[in-house]
Amino acid sequence: MDDALLAWFGGNGRDLPWRRTRDPYAILVSEVMLQQTQANRVVPRFEEWLARWPMVEALAAAPAADVIRAWQGLGYNRRALNLHRAAAIVAERGWPADLTELPGVGRYTADAIRAFAFGEPVLPEDTNVLRVQERTAHRFGPACGQALMDLGATVCLARVPRCAICPLAEECPSRGRRYEPLRKQSRFEGSFRQRRALALRAVAAGEQPDDAEAVAALARDGLVELRAGVAALPQ
């Protein structure tokens, strides 16, 4: 199956800017952005970010307020702070042997950096990779990482896989199956997450939001600071 997958990837793989570099910092940025955001939305933001902060030292030296403002629209703003803190650690001490020691870096993100930046023989297992492996009942080798991600994102979809065009369909025991969603995504409209986002956007614009509960939650996460009762971005 590995050979069939890699042959398909050779003609169908997505051209994504973070695949054109081995820079661990650039790959860290892309992986953190991709944690809760679709690739097509991440591409322009990734390019803007790297144009502004091309090296890990540049991001580490940036004020946290600028980092939070630059992250607006990507969602889950704590990721921005974690990325900023991780950059500060790397700039000061270098890349740790255990990448999960960096803020916001879990097992998958660590493995992605190890594989795509440092060339280590490890298979990063995100949702798409795990789905394809489960359905095919096949354990793919480390060279298949990006190919599995693309197959899962474009062909072996979560609910209605496109088996008719899948390069693995002939040997796949799950061919033709349909799936129920594992869980429903909670609504953003009207949620507390939306209130937090609106409050943070207001603070970033120099305004004072009137949602005290949302501001308090942002302060607990370190996304805003309260100075004499006035909310401001951290410096």
Q: SS3 letters for 137-199? A: CCCCCHHHHHHHHHHHHHCCCCCCCCHHHCCCHHHCCCCCCCCCCCCCCCCCCCCHHHHHHHH
DSSP summary character for residue 53:
S
Q: Which residue has the higher pLDDT, 193 or 166?
A: 166
Cβ count near 168 (within 10 Å): 22
User: What is the pTM assigned to this prediction?
Assistant: 0.86
- What pLDDT score does 210 carry? 82
Which amino acid makes up residue 67?
A: V
Largest CA distance in the chain: 66
pLDDT tens digit sequence for 168-188: 999 999 998 888 766 665 677
Cα angle 231, 233, 235 (rounded to 5 degrees) comes to 130
Looking at the structure, give the CATH architecture of the domain made up of residues 23-116: Orthogonal Bundle (1.10)
> What residues form DSSP beta bridges with 232?
225
CA distance 178 to 157: 10
Question: What ranges do the domains of the chain cover?
Answer: 23-116, 192-232
- What pLDDT score does 218 carry? 84
Q: Which residues are tagged catalytic? A: 31
- What pLDDT score does 183 carry? 63
- What pLDDT score does 175 carry? 93
DSSP summary character for residue 227:
E
